[in-house]
Amino acid sequence: MIDYKTTAGFSLTLEEREFLKDSAEGSGSIVSIESGPCAALWCFRAGAPESSIYSVKEQGSIIDGDPGVTILSGFSDFPGNSVDLLFIDGSHAFKDVLLDLVTWQDSIPLKGLVVLHDYEHNNMPEVKLATEFWLKNVTRKTWQPIEAPGSLFALRRIARGRKPAVVPVEALKEQHAEQESVSEKATGQVDPRQD
Query: Quick check: 40 and 10 in contact, CB under 8 A?
Result: no
The rounded distance, in Å, linking the Cα atoms of 188 and 190 is 7
Model pLDDT, residue 67: 61
Residues 54-87: pLDDT tens digits?
A: 988 765 455 555 667 888 888 888 888 899 999 9
35-39, 44-48, 157-161: range with lowest mean pLDDT: 35-39
Model pLDDT, residue 60: 46
Q: Which of 156, 141, 159, 158 is nearest to 27 (CA)?
A: 156
Q: What is the 3-state secondary structure (H, E, C) of 31-51?
A: EEEECCCCHHHHHHHHHCCCC
Has this prediction a pTM greater than 0.85? no
Instruction: Please give the mean pLDDT across all residues of the chain.
Output: 81
Domain boundaries, the chain: 14-187
2-11, 77-86, 167-176: range with lowest mean pLDDT: 167-176
Which residues does 37 contact at the CB level (< 8 Å), separation at least 6?
7, 8, 9, 10, 61, 62, 63, 64
pLDDT greater than 50 at residue 194: no
Helix or strand or coil: residue 116? strand
pLDDT band at 182 (very low <50, low <70, confident <90, very high): low
What is the dotted CATH code of the domain comprising 14-187?
3.40.50.150
